[in-house]
């Protein structure tokens, strides 16, 4: 069953088109990256998933449920713009957030205890939010989104404002939650962190899809695939049909594979005649892919205008 189905949604504010014909679906237990530069339409898309904004066209169904009123209690959402009631005590605030997710008092108490312990903020439970450091506030905010053990967790720029130690803590917690079967949508403009965490990617730019699919497929599809090889002996493998171009320096070569070229075939051919000291497949980063794809589009647009 798909945890989330987003079906051709669009949203326009006045003359400004914020999201145009976006579709994707997410399987259970997947870490899904919604990536794109600032202002691309990520937050509007998430708000439509959360039913905070109603799409002009298209539908969203969460956990197979078209009625968002019931589905919403099974989602956890950490918005990018986030803050808390500064005068409230930590425990009261978490209890309030739990009540908003229809948790019973007893379940809430157990979950609050567990999570405060997990992020080592137990001693702070009776302090007011304004007495906490910024990092502590971020952690409280984070556990507020997972208290009710949601099926789907949506995190909009979760690492913004966190120090490396706490970033690691949150990342570890996310991996645990994923192992327990939680589906996680991870929205960010920092492509490096998306690349590390996500199995599937939806990249959005200027309110439209740029590409969407499994991370590995995207890299195959869009990446120029380069191999760096250091060898002693026969260089006949450099004539392999898998190879598009090559730069041979005698005992080191840089190879660019054809689109369907198989790096492993090249390696086997090389091993049959030479000693291999180093074999490195240089994968393109998401960032490179994005720049290439968006750059091409931009060039095309410029060409059309001319």
Binding residues for other proteins, rule: CB under 8 A, are: 14, 47, 50, 52-54, 56, 72-73, 75, 77-79, 81-88, 92, 96-97, 99-102, 141, 144
Nearer to other proteins, 151 or 225 (CB): 151
How many residues can be counted in the chain?
Answer: 306
Nearer to other proteins, 53 or 255 (CB): 53
Nearer to other proteins, 130 or 301 (CB): 130
Residues whose CB is less than 8 angstroms from the CB of residue 155 and which lie 6 or more positions away in sequence, other chains included: 78, 145, 174, 184, 185, 186, 187
Complete edge-to-edge strand list for the sheet that includes strand 183-188 = 75-78, 152-156, 183-188, 31-35, 200-205, 208-214
C-alpha neighbours within 13 Å on the C-beta side of residue 263: 15
Contact status, residue 62 vs residue 4, Cβ threshold 8 Å: yes
The minimum distance between CB 286 and other proteins, in angstroms, equals 27
Nearer to other proteins, 183 or 240 (CB): 183
CB atoms inside a 10 Å sphere around CB 299: 10
CA–CA distance, 298 with 228 (Å, rounded to integer): 31
Nearer to other proteins, 69 or 306 (CB): 69
The minimum distance between CB 170 and other proteins, in angstroms, equals 17
CB atoms inside a 10 Å sphere around CB 87: 10
Pick from 93, 102, 106: nearest CA to 71: 102
Nearer to other proteins, 59 or 245 (CB): 59
The minimum distance between CB 167 and other proteins, in angstroms, equals 20
16: part of which helix (H) or strand (E)? strand 16-27
The minimum distance between CB 101 and other proteins, in angstroms, equals 6
Distances (CA, A) of 30 to 33, 189, 215, 287: 10, 19, 12, 21
Nearer to other proteins, 36 or 76 (CB): 76
The minimum distance between CB 78 and other proteins, in angstroms, equals 8
The minimum distance between CB 22 and other proteins, in angstroms, equals 17
The minimum distance between CB 180 and other proteins, in angstroms, equals 22
């Amino acid at each position: 069953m798909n945890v989330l189905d987003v079906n051709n949604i669009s949203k326009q504010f006045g003359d400004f088109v914020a999201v145009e014909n976006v579709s994707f679906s997410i399987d259970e237990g997947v870490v899904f990256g919604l990536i794109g530069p600032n202002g691309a339409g990520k937050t509007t898309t998430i708000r439509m998933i959360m039913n905070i904004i109603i799409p002009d066209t298209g539908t969203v169904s969460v956990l197979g449920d078209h009625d968002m009123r019931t589905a919403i209690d099974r989602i956890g959402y950490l918005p990018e713009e986030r803050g808390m009631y500064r005068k409230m005590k930590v425990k009261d605030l978490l209890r309030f957030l739990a009540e908003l997710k229809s948790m019973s008092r007893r379940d809430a108490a157990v979950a609050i205890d567990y999570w405060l312990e997990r992020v080592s903020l137990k001693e702070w439970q009776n302090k007011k939010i304004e007495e906490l450091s910024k990092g502590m506030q971020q952690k409280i905010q984070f556990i507020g989104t997972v208290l009710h053990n949601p099926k789907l967790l949506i995190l909009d720029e979760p690492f913004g404002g966190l120090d490396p130690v706490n970033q690691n803590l949150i990342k570890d917690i996310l991996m645990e939650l994923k192992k327990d079967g939680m589906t996680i949508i991870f929205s960010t403009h920092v492509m490096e962190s998306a690349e590390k965490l996500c199995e599937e990617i939806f990249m959005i730019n200027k309110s439209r899809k740029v590409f969407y699919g499994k991370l590995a497929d995207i890299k195959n599809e869009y990446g120029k695939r380069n191999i760096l090889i250091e060898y002693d002996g026969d260089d006949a493998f450099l004539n392999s049909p898998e190879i598009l171009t090559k730069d041979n320096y005698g005992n080191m070569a840089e190879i660019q594979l054809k689109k369907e070229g198989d790096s492993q075939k090249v390696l086997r051919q090389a091993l049959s005649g030479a000693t291999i000291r180093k074999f490195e497949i240089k994968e393109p980063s998401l960032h490179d892919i994005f720049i290439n794809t968006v750059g091409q589009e931009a060039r095309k647009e410029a060409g059309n205008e001319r």
